[in-house]
Structure 1
Amino acid sequence: RDAARAGAVLRHEPGRLRPLIAGGQAIYGGGGRCSLGANVRSGSTWYFVTAGHCTNLAGTWYADGARTTVLGSRTGSSFPGNDYGVVRYTGTVAHPSAVYTHPGQVTVYGAGSAYVGQAVCRSGATTGVRCGTVTGLNQTVNYAEGSVSGLIRTNICAEPGDSGGPLYVAATGTVLGILSGGSGNCTSGGTSYYQPILEILAAYGLTIP
């Protein structure tokens, strides 16, 4: 039995062993590492969404740092203004509708809208699962590359590499957004901002699951 390797968790099933990739796990492209947001589809064609400042960096995305296990190819990217990107699966890595919770998994049943005061969690490749509350909606953040508007603000910390990971409600398996950026860190605490998932699905005609 193989040990779990970077970017993909291996789960034992009767008669077969295969890598899986779900929301919150590491994805690699160009010289960067980000986190997968959610596995989505258009009919029978599967994609994943992540941050646009990630997909701007590379056209091909991989499940491992060595860039040997291909996940797929970028089909859309929007940043700044928005911060989302879409990658179409072309590889053979299984992609369940789920959030990886380091080490567990939460099944994703759909997408929803955030509201102030809502209890939420996010999963990312650098700092795992962190939870808190939604503290603002329709926020604008100014990055060096330009501003991004319409974001969800939370009091949850985040660090580089967590970008693109999902903001979700664990009890209902609902994805609310994907991590755009933030301030502070997970040692001293921080604030993080998310691109609403419903806007991304509408822009590309995608559904969850």
Structure 2
Amino acid sequence: MRSKRTNPHHRVVRGLRLTAVASGLLALAAFVTPGIAAADAGGATTYSSSELDRAAEAVDAADVSGTAWAVDAESGTVVVLADESVSRSETARIKRGAGALSGALTIERTEGRFQQYLQGGDAIYADLGWRCSLGFNVKAGGVFYFLTAGHCTDDPYGPTPPYPLWNDGVNWIGYTQASSFPGNDYGLVRYDPQPAGVPSTVNLYNGGSQTITSLQNPFVGQSACRSGSTTGVRCGSVNGLNYTVDYGNGDIVSGLIRTNICAEPGDSGGPLYSGTIGLGLTSGGSGNCTSGGTTFFQPVVEAAQAYGVMLP
């Protein structure tokens, strides 16, 4: 979720507007749609991988904001998360769109609404008026950058680079080099002026830090933590891969990591990690750190490969 200004946009004067944007995130509940496809010898409904792919394509084609979905090979279904903005008629439309494959859909309802988090690991501030978190420091060809969420680096007023400009609340630290959102949710910020070096660490918010030595793709069941300036460090596990999330207004992001780790407004762009391994960048979700919730992450390996960067 991003606050937008109604006054005209000017490039010459960009005052600092250190605003925080709230997003509602609540607890999870679920129901399952009945299967209607052919049953196997034991009476269980089964679907081929191609059928599951077609069912997922039908969910995508339904274009219902507030939904997230992925093929779950272990259960042999397409898991569809629907936030509280999704009506019964819309879930019925999703199932109708799947036709004979509607039984392949496992629909889970979650309270709250899927939104991007704006604020953030160490807090970083955009000159356009929002706050996010630094994900991972990286480098390429002796030049230092950092990765964060693409919905943070996206400029709603025009071509993104070199805007937004970024500061740490006191000093200017750099400008947006590149941004990819929607579709993906990653962005690259170039430090300016260039520092002599940058740490490959995550703020643990207890006076310590966690060194990150590699970037890898996660696996389901992997324990992980994330760091953000609003809620500090929170931990849980990876419980899904390759999710597509429809945040509304045409903001659809694919290939995301699903976790049961809570997050709140301001944790956007922050790092997901497991020990010394960097896994992802906080994208969005629903819930809070009182009642729990679902949070999605952009895989950081994809972002690093897209920009040709590595850990410093």
The answer to which of 44-53 and 99-108 deviates more is: 99-108
2:121 equivalent to 1:24: yes
Question: C-alpha distance in 2, partners of 1:176/1:92?
Answer: 26
RMSD (Å), alpha carbons: 1.6
The unaligned stretches of length 5 or more in structure 1 are 1-22
Q: Map residues 1-209 of structure 1 onto 2, 5 A cutoff.
A: 24-29=121-126, 30-57=128-155, 58-64=163-169, 68-91=170-193, 95-103=198-206, 104-145=208-249, 146-170=251-275, 173-209=276-312
Q: Which protein is bigger by CA-based radius of gyration?
A: 2
Structure 1 residue 95: Cα displacement:
2.8
On the 8 A contact 1:62/1:71 being kept in 2, the answer is: yes
Question: C-alpha distance in 1, partners of 2:304/2:194?
Answer: 23
Question: C-alpha distance in 1, partners of 2:205/2:269?
Answer: 16
On the 8 A contact 1:69/1:91 being kept in 2, the answer is: no
On the 8 A contact 2:124/2:167 being kept in 1, the answer is: yes
Question: C-alpha distance in 2, partners of 1:177/1:190?
Answer: 17
Question: C-alpha distance in 2, partners of 1:92/1:27?
Answer: 16
Structure 1 residue 108: Cα displacement:
1.1
The answer to which of 110-119 and 93-102 deviates more is: 93-102
The unaligned stretches of length 5 or more in structure 2 are 1-119, 156-162
On the 8 A contact 1:140/1:149 being kept in 2, the answer is: yes
Report the TM-score when normalising by structure 1: 0.84
The one-letter code of the counterpart of 1:61 is W
On the 8 A contact 1:52/1:83 being kept in 2, the answer is: yes
On the 8 A contact 1:157/1:184 being kept in 2, the answer is: yes
Question: C-alpha distance in 2, partners of 1:108/1:100?
Answer: 11
Report how many residues are paired.
183
On the 8 A contact 2:224/2:238 being kept in 1, the answer is: yes
Q: Which has the higher strand share?
A: 1
Structure 1 residue 91: Cα displacement:
3.3
The answer to which of 38-47 and 49-58 deviates more is: 49-58
Identical-residue share of aligned pairs (%): 57
Question: C-alpha distance in 2, partners of 1:95/1:160?
Answer: 26
Report the TM-score when normalising by structure 2: 0.57
